[in-house]
Amino acid sequence: MPALLARFLTYARPSRPSNVTVGLGLGSIVIATLLAAVLESETQVPDASGVYLVAVAIVGSVGGTWPAVATALASFLAYDVLFIEPRFSVLIVEPTDWLNLALFLVIAVAVGRLAALGRERAAEANRRAREATDLFDVSRLLATADSTADVAAQIVEKLGHEARLERVWIDLEGAPRERPLADTGTGPRPSPTVVSTLARMPGDEPARWVRAHDPLVRRGPAPHGGGDHDAIRVRIETGGTVYGSIWAIRATGTGPPDPEATRLVSLAADQLALALRRDRLRQEATSVEVARRSDALKSALLDSVSHDLRTPLASIRVTAGNLADPTMALSSDAVREAAETIDTEAQRLDRLVTSVLDLSRIESGALEPDLQVYDLRELVDAATARLRTTLGDRPVTVDLPDDLPLVRVDAVLLDAVLANLLENIGRHTPPGTPLEIRAAPSERGRITLTIEDSGPGVADMHLARLFDKFYRVGGPAEGARRGMGIGLSVVRGMVEALGGTATARRSQRGGLTIELRLPIAPEPPPEANG
């Protein structure tokens, strides 16, 4: 019995009843008294004390344990005074009445406690559900955001509302206090010397608030012009690293936050710590990736420039040196051949420099196409005729329907695209390789221009990276003259500037197929009649 009583007192801590609870208790006792009087006088019920149990249950379910106990005692006295002989006296003569009233009191207290317990369990379940919902909202915000800073304002607003804090802000380590990550208030923030800090305890022991002087906090003005607020602080830390703190202010005298608010702020700090750690790791990974790509780009550029520029320069220097050597007697045919060699190598240098400049313009966004309406056949025929020498004896089949819609492109850019593709074919396919150029309307108002060859093609593993900068696929047809690997990058950049797309796939002929999807020119408005 002592253990049961101690458990009862532990879980049934008294609280000051509200006016509503007091009124409900008095009203229910009055109604129960009237009902008991009617039952005993009109229906000849010998003992109607059970109706008071309804009043006790109602008060317990609304007000809690101690109002229910008080209602049970008041009911006990009311029934004793009004219905037990001698009436209007607390004296009890008959032993049977003693037993009945004692049992009534015990049952009334038990019923009141059970009703209050149900109320407390329901309230606790509601609090837990609300707490879980709040934590889920915080977790969802952090999980779906690109960075913690994007949702920090929403998180501090939720903490201030749900934990009943007057002002909440987040300070990061190393950042100036004048610029917090997020703040629910405006104006200068308080900097009290006494702060309640949440101390995390080992194991399952709950955290507790420790009130102490904080020498790291600078004194500052208090809000509303007075020191009527207490400050609390929860560190944002994980894995031994402190990323910052959640700060908040509460009215003086309200004490530390209740367990529910403490759990919410504590778990929110843990979620913020993980999110800030994720942001830091992402930044570090991005920096490492940028450095890696920068090194790879520098290496590729150095390799390309050192090879692709030095080779034609060496050829030009050797040929020019032979022409300038007075000891060498050269025929007119040899001089002409040397001049053609110098011109060919100079053209190659010009193409390399032009490709690098085009790539620079594309990446800087300085490429502004002059879009006009053109007949695609005319542009293709002009490009193939100009590149006829580069293609050599490779047969070229051009299959463009007569009723093909007009395209809206920049003629200069599209000519450069076709030139790059045809030069690639001339450089990477053996002599005599057939080549086909065809076009047909495709979905969503586009024309697909297909350039397909019957050369050796490329392996499937290279197709996905074929348009990457400085990505080169070696082959036996190119010999020692490997390209810089920027031709197809320029092609993709120029086609995208025209509003189209460029893709690569294996050719049914065994070689490589490049598909350019170009926008169709809009239909001209109909002429007005009359």
Q: 13 or 206: which carries more pLDDT confidence?
A: 206
Q: Which pLDDT tens digit goes with each residue over 450-492? A: 999 888 888 777 777 777 766 666 554 444 444 556 677 778 8
Whether 141 and 168 have beta carbons less than 8 Å apart is answered as no
pLDDT score, position 373? 92
Q: How many CB atoms lie within 10 A of CB 466?
A: 21
Assess whether pLDDT exceeds 70 at residue 106. yes
Whether 358 and 416 have beta carbons less than 8 Å apart is answered as yes
Whether 171 and 204 have beta carbons less than 8 Å apart is answered as no
Assess whether pLDDT exceeds 50 at residue 238. yes
Cα distances (Å, whole numbers) of residue 238 to 132, 153, 202, 270, 513: 21, 21, 14, 7, 53
Q: CA-CA-CA-CA torsion for 442, 448, 452, 458, nearest 10 degrees?
A: -90
Mean pLDDT, the chain, whole residue set: 78
Q: Give the separation between CA 382 and CA 55, rounded to whole angstroms.
A: 101
Label residue 3 exposed, middle or buried (CB < 10 Å: 0-12, 13-18, 19+): exposed
Q: Which pLDDT tens digit goes with each residue over 74-103? A: 887 887 777 777 777 766 766 766 776 677
DSSP designation for 478: G
Q: 120 or 438: which carries more pLDDT confidence?
A: 438
**Lowest-pLDDT range of 4-13, 82-91, 263-272:** 4-13
Q: Give the separation between CA 135 and CA 325, rounded to whole angstroms.
A: 85
Assess whether pLDDT exceeds 60 at residue 383. yes
Assigned token pair, 361: 């313009």
Q: How many CB atoms lie within 10 A of CB 382?
A: 14
pLDDT score, position 116? 77
Q: Which pLDDT tens digit goes with each residue over 147-196? A: 888 888 898 898 888 888 888 998 888 766 666 888 888 877 777 677 88
Q: Give the separation between CA 269 and CA 282, rounded to whole angstroms.
A: 20
Assess whether pLDDT exceeds 80 at residue 224. no
Assess whether pLDDT exceeds 80 at residue 140. yes
Q: Which pLDDT tens digit goes with each residue over 484-530? A: 566 777 788 888 888 888 888 888 878 889 999 999 988 766 654 44
- Between the ranges 96-100, 114-118, 244-248, where is the mean pLDDT highest? 244-248
pLDDT score, position 139? 84
Q: Give the separation between CA 32 and CA 14, rounded to whole angstroms.
A: 25
Whether residue 86 is preceded by a cis peptide bond, meaning omega within 30 degrees of 0, is yes
